Amino acid sequence: MRELTEHPDSDVFVRMTRGTATPEETRAAVRHLLQGCKVCAQRAAAPPEKANYEGVFKRLETRGIDRAIAQARHLEKEREEARLLHAELLRQEAVQGLSQVHSTRRYASLALCELLLQTARDLGVDDPPRARRAAELAVHVAEQLDLGPYGSPVVQDLRAIAWAYLADTARVQADLQLARNAMDTAELLLDQGSGDPLVRAELLGFQASLLTYSGRFDEALPLLNRVASIWRRAGDRHQLGRTLIKKGTVLGNAGESAAAVRLIRRGMDLIEPTREPRLLVCATHNYIWFLQESGKTGSVAGCLHGARLLYQRAGDRRDLGRLRWLEGKIATGKTAETALLAARDALAREGLAYEAALAAMDLAAHYAREGRGPDMRRQTHQMLPLFRSSDMYQETLVALSLSTGTPKSD
């Protein structure tokens, strides 16, 4: 655990108990305590020196200080208990875990909800089904939280983010109906929250991902502009770079490959690789992808050769599947077919249904270029039900319908 070097002022904890702290102060103090700050815990537990607290006693009642110390101790204890509850829930089956959350107040813990959201973040790459389950548990834990101990703004913020994580994990699994419903709930809850711009930025980022997934690029881009402005004002270069990479990816998906390459390159210059190692792999992949889409094929092979070691060191099966997909797109003949088949199957195994379908569509296009009509039609027929069932890009469904002679459903 990293050492915490910045600590809230002692007066903040007192203001929290009296209801006079601002939403920003409350949120920052609660999160600081839940990070396990031993300095603040020891400072709260130790007898105050008269010289240090004389001014405080003049302004505040002793009872208020006692309540602040008790709350600090309670949050520290909650954090320790949350680790045990977190492990207990994740050992259980999905239905049993949800039933447990609703059957007892033991799980009504802000720290537990934070741990479940961290699990959803960590598993989102390697195990989408388990990431979704962690997000579902986080939603149910957040809904059980009492407003009193933490303050309504903090709880509503956390509920909003939990629903947003559920929306994002549902999006990854192509369950767009659930994703949209969950995102609508997140927006309503955020309106009742603290108004913290950083929480707003996180939710807007999830909204942009959902809109992008549905092919609504023109709606996603303004949201990402707002997110970038928030991180720029906050002075967080890494998050700003992350947002520029995402915006570049949206532009590339919208067909603006040259603009995508420029923006992703700018974003890569801002991010801190040690802070989020996999982000560099994703950014590199998208950079090379849109470089190829922009027609600069002469540069692609060299970039791909240099990046291959980066993919292999990351060791993520999803990224390795995407690497094979990229290799298939720039190859020709039998080499292209072999790579695209391998990519399609690898992405499908990892639960990336949409990307597997797109790899299959590239394979169908490869067959078309080689005049292999029966193989092309077989490939498009196999992927068509997936696009229909998951409500993905409508223009893609139209293209597939035209290529196979299948009428588009309403």
Q: Check residues 62 and 320 and name the one with the higher pLDDT.
A: 320
Q: Based on the structure, what is the number of domains in the chain? A: 1
Answer with the residue of higher pLDDT: 9 or 120: 120
pLDDT, position 59: 41
Residue that has been written with the tokens 């802070």 in this structure: 275
Q: How confident is the model at residue 374, as a pLDDT? A: 87
Q: What percent of the chain lies above the pLDDT cut of 90?
A: 32
- pLDDT score of 278: 82
Q: What is the pLDDT of residue 167?
A: 95
Q: Tell me, what's the pLDDT at 337?
A: 93
What is the C-alpha separation between 303 and 325, in angstroms, rounded? 15
The count of other CB atoms within 10 Å of the CB of residue 262 is 17
Residue among 252, 220, 245 at smallest CA distance from 231: 245
Which domain does 379 fall in, by range? 333-410
Model confidence at 113: pLDDT above 50 = yes
The mean pLDDT value for 96-123 works out to 71
Per-residue model confidence (pLDDT) at position 305: 75
Give a yes or no: residue 364 inside a domain.
yes
SS3 content of the chain, % helix, strand, coil (to 5): 80, 0, 20
Choose between 126 and 260: higher pLDDT.
Answer: 260
Question: Rounded to an integer, what distance in angstroms lies between the CA atom of residue 91 and that of residue 260?
Answer: 42
Query: Looking at per-residue confidence, does 134 or 90 come out higher?
Result: 134
Are the C-beta atoms of 213 and 249 separated by less than 8 Å? no
Token duo for residue 332: 């020709």
Taking CA atoms, 158 is separated from 11, 180, 186, in Å, by 24, 18, 10
CA 175, CA 169: separation in Å to the nearest integer? 9
Question: What value does the mean pLDDT take over residues 342-362?
Answer: 85
Q: Is there a domain that residue 403 lies in?
A: yes
Query: Looking at the domain assignment, is residue 359 inside a domain?
Result: yes
Specify the pLDDT at position 230. 97
Task: Give the pLDDT score at 107.
Answer: 67
pLDDT of residue 112: 84
Residue 160 has φ and ψ, to the nearest 5°, of -60, -45
DSSP 105: G
Q: Which residue type occupies 209?
A: S
For residue 72, is it within any domain? no
pLDDT at 47: 42
Lowest mean pLDDT among 56-70, 91-105, 111-125, 276-290: 56-70
- C-alpha 143/C-alpha 245 separation (Å) is 33
Residue 31 belongs to some domain of the structure: no
Is residue 198 within 8 Å of 31, Cβ to Cβ? no
At 235-292, the pLDDT tens digits run 999 999 999 999 999 999 999 999 999 999 999 999 988 888 788 888 988 998 898 8
Burial letters 223-237, b for 16+ CB under 10 A, else e: bbeebbebbeeeebe
> What pLDDT is recorded for position 254?
93
Would you call 198 exposed, middle or buried from its count of C-beta atoms within 10 A (0-12, 13-18, 19+)?
middle
pLDDT at 315 over 50: yes
* Tokens found for residue 311: 């993919």
Per-residue confidence (pLDDT) for residue 390, from 0 to 100: 47
Q: Are 289 and 323 in contact (CB under 8 A)?
A: no
Overall average pLDDT of the 112-118 stretch: 87
Task: Tell me, yes or no, whether 303 lies in a domain.
Answer: no
345 within a domain of the structure (yes/no): yes
Higher model confidence: residue 186 or residue 352? Answer: 186
Buried b (16+ CB within 10 A) or exposed e, 119-147: bbeebbbeebebbbbbbbbbbbbbbbbee
pLDDT at res. 263? 96
Q: Please state, as a whole number, how many other Cβ atoms lie within 10 Å of the Cβ of residue 154.
A: 25
Q: What is the DSSP string of 26-93?
A: HHHHHHHHHTT-HHHHHHHHSPPPHHHHHHHHHHS-HHHHHHHHHHHHHHHHHHHHHHHHHHHHHHS-
pLDDT digits (tens, 9 = 90+) for 36-80: 455 554 444 444 444 344 443 344 333 333 444 444 445 555 666
Evaluate if residue 410 carries a pLDDT over 50: no
> Tokens at residue 180, please?
């949209």
Cβ–Cβ under 8 Å, residues 64 and 54? no
* pLDDT score at 188: 94
Nearest to 247 by CA among 279, 230, 223, 282: 223
d(CA 217, CA 262): 18
As a whole number, the mean pLDDT across the chain is: 76
